[in-house]
Chain A
Amino acid sequence: EDQVTQSPEALRLQEGESSSLNCSYTVSGLRGLFWYRQDPGKGPEFLFTLYSAGEEKEKERLKATLTKKESFLHITAPKPEDSATYLCAVQGWGDYKLSFGAGTTVTVRA
Chain B
Amino acid sequence: DSGVTQTPKHLITATGQRVTLRCSPRSGDLSVYWYQQSLDQGLQFLIHYYNGEERAKGNILERFSAQQFPDLHSELNLSSLELGDSALYFCASEPGQAAEAFFGQGTRLTVV
Contact = CB atoms under 8 A, between A and B. Distances in A.
B28 to A, nearest CB: 16
A91 B98 contact: yes
A87 B104 CA distance: 16
B101 interface: yes
B48 A44 contact: no
B108 A41 contact: yes
Interface residues of B, number: 27
Contact of A43 (B2, B48, B55, B56): B2
Contact of A98 (B45, B55, B88, B104): B45
Contacts of A62: none
Interface string B31-53: 10101000000111100100000
A87 B43 CA distance: 9
Contacts of A89: 43
B105 A96 contact: no
A69 interface: no
Contacts, number: 61
B8 interface: no
Given A34-B100, A97-B45, A98-B101, A45 B56 contact: no
Interface size class of A (residues with CB under 8 A): 20 to 34
Interface centre among A31, A36, A103 (most CB of B within 10 A): A36
Interface in B96-112: 98-106, 108
B48 A95 contact: yes
Contacts of B108: 41
A101 B43 CA distance: 8
Interface of B: 2, 4, 31, 33, 35, 42-45, 48, 55-56, 58, 88, 90, 92, 94, 98-106, 108
